[in-house]
Amino acid sequence: MSPKLQAPRGTLDVQPGDARRRLRIVRIAEELLGRAGYEPFETPVFEDTELFARGVGESTDIVQKEMFTFEDKAGRLLTLRPEATAAICRAYVEHGMHKLAQPVKLWTWGPFFRHEAPQAGRFRQFTQIDAEALGSDDPSLDAELILLLAELIERAGAGPARLRLSSLGTPETRAAYLDALRSHLRAHENRVSREVRERLDQNPLRAFDADHPGTQAVMTEAPRLLDRLEPDDAAHFADVRALLDAAGLAYEVDSTLVRGLDYYTRTVFEFESERLGAQAALGGGGRYDRLVEELGGPATPGVGWAAGIERILLASDAEPEDEARVFVALAKPDAKGRAFRMARSLRAQGIRAEIEQAGRSLKGQLKQADRIGARATVIVGDTIDVRDMDSGEQREADGADEAMARVRELLG
């Protein structure tokens, strides 16, 4: 016997009920983001490896450990995208979008790839909805995006979610702060975990994230970046907060919020579900005012977020909406042509209509109609009958038009 084939580790097949729930979330995103002026946009699923190395940051886990990288036939190094922001910035530069009216607001959704250890809510191929606003540092964009993500989570049935918010200031403030933090960690080197000690030079912020009790104790006394922001950045953060306050959105200012990507400046945020375990982040993002320039474009501020569809679904209790269904049955085999036309007319009227396509007896067809939860069955033979599947009442219709009217009545 040939060995059984399975989907690769960390990937998942999205089966029909789930696929429908996922599409519903995408549709909610499309509606919410569309109303706020965000345009759908797509970039390739793979890019030059260098884009992510430069964009996401050499010291991040994503770049160091998690990228699916391969060589193409010409020896070019390519990577399956681990996130969307770097590619959107690349496209902004490549297509001269700085010449358009600013800000340029874009959103996208699709598969992303990270070679992480799979666990509940963590996959190697996962799906993000991503929204970005480039070309303005107006704090209302930060607040608008945060509110849009809050609404998406709410409408997807994945609430309540805890919103953590912070500001990272500029890279310069951050560099000075990181020095102070390194000194603090060095002063307590014997109490922190080996991993933190080893990455102390590269990424001391990671220490805020540690599970290690000794490290956690050291971090409670560590200096906080929020206390050291430049006046401009502090004012920007105050503006973002004031807009969220005015909108009535609750959040926690959390100066220990660490995002796994290097490009952030100023605002950072993350929504965590109270219903999920270790992988609780439903979505997160922030401002990246230097990224476009670092990728070779003109100085262009930007802000955005990404949300994981799989995690939203895990946290959500929303059932897929039941669409009214109609079954078209054949009372005798030679009614096929008329039944086929009937099904097409129903569909043209916007009704979900399925026709018998498996050679069942009429009794078998009615059973099938019941199984799929049809509200009505149109039985086409010498006559056309419409059966109310709830009451079992069946009535002959005077032609196709009357049958259609009766179906409409039943669907309500």
As given in the structure block, the two tokens for residue 67 are 């990228």
Residue number, 14 or 176, with CB nearest to ligand HAM = 14
Instruction: Give whole-number Cα distances, 234 to 173, 184, 255, in Å.
Output: 11, 23, 13
Residue number, 114 or 325, with CB nearest to ligand HAM = 114
Residue number, 85 or 316, with CB nearest to ligand HAM = 85
DSSP state of 318: P
Residue number, 84 or 369, with CB nearest to ligand HAM = 84
Residue number, 307 or 386, with CB nearest to ligand HAM = 307
Question: Which one of residues 85, 167, 203, 267 is an interface residue with ligand HAM (CB under 6 A)?
Answer: 85
Question: Which one of residues 38, 92, 123, 237 is an interface residue with ligand HAM (CB under 6 A)?
Answer: 123
Question: Which one of residues 310, 346, 351, 404 is an interface residue with ligand HAM (CB under 6 A)?
Answer: 310
Q: How many CB atoms lie within 10 A of CB 112?
A: 20
Question: Which one of residues 135, 284, 297, 301 is an interface residue with ligand HAM (CB under 6 A)?
Answer: 284
Under a CB-based contact definition with an 8 Å cutoff, are residues 91 and 51 in contact? Answer: no
Tell me which residues in 238-277 interact with ligand HAM (CB under 6 A): 260-261
Residue number, 133 or 374, with CB nearest to ligand HAM = 133
Quick check: 143 binds ligand HAM (CB under 6 A)? no
Instruction: Tell me the per-residue interface mask from 350 to 379 with ligand HAM, x by CB under 6 A, - otherwise.
Output: ------------------------------
CA 133, CA 37: separation in Å to the nearest integer? 10
Instruction: Give every CB contact of residue 2 below 8 A, 6+ residues apart in sequence.
Output: none
Interface region with ligand HAM, contact rule CB under 6 A, candidates 103-111, 120-128, 358-366, 378-386:
120-128
With tokens 């097949």, the residue in question is 13
Quick check: 304 binds ligand HAM (CB under 6 A)? yes
Q: How many helices (H) and strands (E) does the chain have?
A: 14, 16
Residue sitting closest to ligand HAM (CB): 308
- Single-letter amino acid code for the residue at 51: L
**What are the percentages of helix, strand and coil residues in the chain, rounded to 5?**
40, 20, 35
Instruction: Give every CB contact of residue 361 below 8 A, 6+ residues apart in sequence.
Output: none
Quick check: 283 binds ligand HAM (CB under 6 A)? yes
Question: Which one of residues 116, 138, 385, 402 is an interface residue with ligand HAM (CB under 6 A)?
Answer: 116
CA 362, CA 399: separation in Å to the nearest integer? 20
Under a CB-based contact definition with an 8 Å cutoff, are residues 378 and 370 in contact? Answer: no
Q: Which residues bind ligand HAM (CB under 6 A)?
A: 83-85, 114, 116, 122-123, 126, 128, 130, 132, 260-261, 281-286, 288, 304-308, 310-311
